[in-house]
Structure 1
């Protein structure tokens, strides 16, 4: 795009608006998909709604572009004041959010081993296949599933993302 064309586009968009960011809220993981036809998404309003949740404006813009171009985006929003309010705001501009449930509190090794095994078996992979597909050390995975070790918070978040969207995570591992 040439500078003259870019100036014309910016002229049509009007002045830059200040985004009022949430002052409180909790961190939320969300998968965004088009509610209908991706061409009907109001990209500016969707970007502003995401930026209000603490995302940098450029990251919010790229996430909305990903929803339009690729059909989905996976995000961690730093400060969501209300899941319901955000869902309504995004739905009104053509974006369907699916909130990923929070990482389970694995207070016991037994709860941990049950959950890790459930995540692995839900994607239909053996321990070795899961290890290769998702880059988890085989011996570590076995320790989790035997209850000898409890995954750290970052590992739980990764497993949670796999549990919530296994197809996308497999594609990312294969393509990436």
Structure 2
């Protein structure tokens, strides 16, 4: 069965109803990878190599580029957090990644795969010696796979700027690869 853009709009509505600030279906060609992105994980994130959803255990930018070549469309959505609601809202939006992925899968988008933002925080200490304790809901971040989130957002018509203050709002982006 051929999938139409109209049929995919229900995922946009679901994301918006769950608290996303903006959501849209975009061509997968909007998604950009770059080798420098993982340097930001390695030399800028205190979670580097501490989780199963972080480098070096995630696809490299080159591997992710090949994965993206298998997709035509994706759902991209943003959400905004303030310091007072950061933890709660980020947890809710992270769960939304797998909820949308599952909904798309059950609707016949069997390749659906979600990518979150930032390090996974489902466990206090990740089970690096074994399997993921939350594999049904843990997903790698776009950054950990070498996706240039800023270029991807810009290509998708979403304004994203660097959050320059810890005491101000911050905008985050999540992505569901659909078909």
| TM-score, length-scaled by structure 2 | 0.28
Query: Whose helix proportion is higher, 1 or 2?
Result: 1
Larger Rg: 1
| TM-score, length-scaled by structure 1 | 0.28
